[in-house]
Amino acid sequence: MKNILVTGGAGFIGSAFVRYMVNAYPHYTLVTFDKLTYAGNLDNLLPVKNASNHHFEQGDIADRESVQSVLEQHKIDTIVNFAAESHVDRSILEPEAFIRTDVFGVYTLLEVGRQVGIGRFVQVSTDEVYGDVHEGFSVETDSFLPNSPYAASKAGGEMMVRSYHVTYGMDTVITRGSNTYGPYQYPEKLVPFFITEAMDDKPLPLYGDGMQIRDWLYVDDHARGIDVALHKGKSGEAYNIAGEDLRHNIEVAKKMLSLLGKPESLLKHVPDREGHDRRYAMNADKLRGLGWERQMTFEEGLHNTVSWYKTNDWWWRKIKTGEYLDYYKKQYAARLAAAES
């Protein structure tokens, strides 16, 4: 392993992985390949701007020619695929882009990678493929019961990866991360959305009763988990990367408000997300068996995250314009109005 293509490396988790790998493995070359959708942001890669072992190429994983060209030009031997449409609420509004990138894009990367003869292919997936887990903790052999178009598209991508391992003998590893939070997360997901809205004293739309449960994982722990799976994972296997720290959404929201010194009256219960999964929970024993441990507690991680958004409003204020405002109107205006009436 020498030349690693990080697809989706300008997004939230991909950029954390790039920032980590560039320093942890100075003898590797990292090439970020990213379409720069609304969620891709070159500011996320500013910390590695001067790294001689990192390069950026703009491109679409569903476009065969550009994938082939980047693989050949940089003599890529390993792919770590973060590229995805990644937000459940957007998948409910407009599912098509999810099928294109999360299923067809994964197929394109696999197929071109196979023809060019790459080595390991790591697919970054999600706990959402397991669906709503009423009790207990998902293990890697559990069946898939995806409930949103996002979860279904990620499950479809995983199935393509599996088929390329079984049929063509491709060296593949899949990781399934739990809800991830930390610096540089696009402010549409719960944690950065609520922090940045609360900083401006805006109402926080909490879906339904706010008693849904998510399993929270700090972004650097997620990035290190992918590194462990990349280097030590067994070919053809999947690995859960779980924070194993389950919290109700309402508790997370109240903790963020308390860290910001803002009143709980900013919280507004709004009509629930359609098909909303109540609970995600995974068991991380298999990855722990390879030597991975979560390092960040939820309290510490949330504290760091709130401080980062407070200190770096230059990063998120320029995002909250244009496309973001259109999305905000489509997603939240009606829900917040319903909560008022």
Closest CA to 215 of 294, 150, 289, 145: 294
Write out the two tokens for 7.
């697809």
Of the residues 60, 102, 127, 221, only one is catalytic, namely: 127
Does residue 190 touch ligand TYD according to CB under 6 A?
Answer: yes
- Our CB check for ligand NAD shows the closer of 82 and 262 to be 82
Does residue 186 touch ligand NAD according to CB under 6 A?
Answer: yes
- The correct pick among 61, 161, 191, 238 for binding ligand NAD (CB under 6 A) is 61
Torsion of the alpha carbons at 75, 234, 14 and 325, rounded to the nearest 10: 130
- The correct pick among 5, 30, 31, 39 for binding ligand NAD (CB under 6 A) is 39
> Is 25 a catalytic site residue?
no
Question: If residue 126 lies in a helix (H) or strand (E), which one and from where to where?
Answer: strand 121-126
Which residues inside 72-111 make contact with ligand NAD, applying CB under 6 A?
A: 82-86, 101, 105
> How far apart are the C-alpha atoms of 315 and 318, rounded to whole Å?
6
**Pair 172, 114: CB distance under 8 Å:** no
40 strand-pairing partners: none
State in angstroms the smallest separation of the CB of 128 from ligand NAD: 7
Angle at 118 between CA 114 and CA 119, to 5 degrees: 115
> 190 contacts which partner out of ligand TYD, ligand NAD, none, CB within 5 to 8 A by kind?
ligand TYD
Contact partners, residue 147, CB within 8 Å, separation at least 6: 128, 131, 132, 275, 277
State in angstroms the smallest separation of the CB of 232 from ligand NAD: 19
**Pair 212, 173: CB distance under 8 Å:** no
- The correct pick among 187, 205, 233, 301 for binding ligand TYD (CB under 6 A) is 205
Does residue 249 touch ligand TYD according to CB under 6 A?
Answer: yes
- What amino acid occupies position 298? F
- The correct pick among 4, 5, 14, 267 for binding ligand NAD (CB under 6 A) is 14
**Pair 204, 267: CB distance under 8 Å:** yes
Closest CA to 30 of 57, 58, 68, 3: 3
Contact partners, residue 260, CB within 8 Å, separation at least 6: 195, 198, 199, 306, 310
Segment near ligand TYD (CB under 6 A), from 68-76, 153-161, 207-215, 220-228? Answer: 207-215
78 strand-pairing partners: 4
> Is 150 a catalytic site residue?
yes
Residue 223, SS3 per DSSP: helix
Torsion of the alpha carbons at 162, 165, 171 and 172, rounded to the nearest 10: 0
State in angstroms the smallest separation of the CB of 86 from ligand NAD: 4
State in angstroms the smallest separation of the CB of 271 from ligand TYD: 11
> 214 contacts which partner out of ligand TYD, ligand NAD, none, CB within 5 to 8 A by kind?
ligand TYD
> How far apart are the C-alpha atoms of 177 and 126, rounded to whole Å?
5
Does residue 60 touch ligand NAD according to CB under 6 A?
Answer: yes
- Our CB check for ligand TYD shows the closer of 15 and 179 to be 179
State in angstroms the smallest separation of the CB of 341 from ligand NAD: 32
- Our CB check for ligand TYD shows the closer of 17 and 216 to be 216
Of the residues 85, 102, 107, 150, only one is catalytic, namely: 150
Does residue 189 touch ligand TYD according to CB under 6 A?
Answer: yes
> Is 63 a catalytic site residue?
no
Does residue 212 touch ligand TYD according to CB under 6 A?
Answer: yes
Catalytic (active-site) positions: 127-128, 150
Contacts with ligand TYD by CB under 6 A lie at 88, 179, 189-190, 193, 205-207, 212, 214, 249, 273
Contacts with ligand NAD by CB under 6 A lie at 7-8, 10-14, 34-37, 39-40, 60-62, 82-86, 101, 105, 124, 126, 154, 177, 179-180, 186
